[in-house]
């Protein structure tokens, strides 16, 4: 089975960044990461490289980040 991007789940898994911290760890610091992204996106990516790697490949966690960023703008 393939997703909208034409990749199978196995293909996405195989190109997962080894620095990816996974959903649990990313969610534990996502609020801190979001606040830092607001101030300095490059610093956020550098300081939380594993979270940035995870967000690059995890749609649900990326959506949570988008929600937090939207809340910070309001």
Residues 58 and 16: beta-carbon distance below 8 Å? no
How many angstroms separate the Cα of 59 from the Cα of each of 22, 40, 46, 73?
12, 22, 20, 21
Distance separating alpha carbons of residues 58 and 72, to the nearest angstrom: 21
Distance between CA atoms of 21 and 30, rounded to whole angstroms?
12
- Tell me the domain boundaries of the chain: 19-73
Give the tens place of pLDDT for each residue, 3-48.
Answer: 456 667 677 666 667 789 999 999 999 999 999 999 999 999 999 9
- State the pTM of this model: 0.77
Is 38 in contact with 72 (CB distance < 8 Å)?
A: yes
């Amino acid at each position: 089975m393939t997703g909208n991007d034409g990749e199978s789940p196995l293909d996405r898994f195989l190109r997962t960044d080894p620095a990816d911290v996974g959903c649990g760890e990313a969610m534990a610091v996502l609020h801190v990461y979001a606040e830092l992204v607001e101030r300095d996106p490059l610093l956020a990516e550098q300081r939380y490289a594993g979270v940035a790697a995870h967000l690059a490949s995890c749609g649900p966690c990326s959506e949570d980040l988008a929600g937090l960023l939207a809340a910070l703008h309001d």
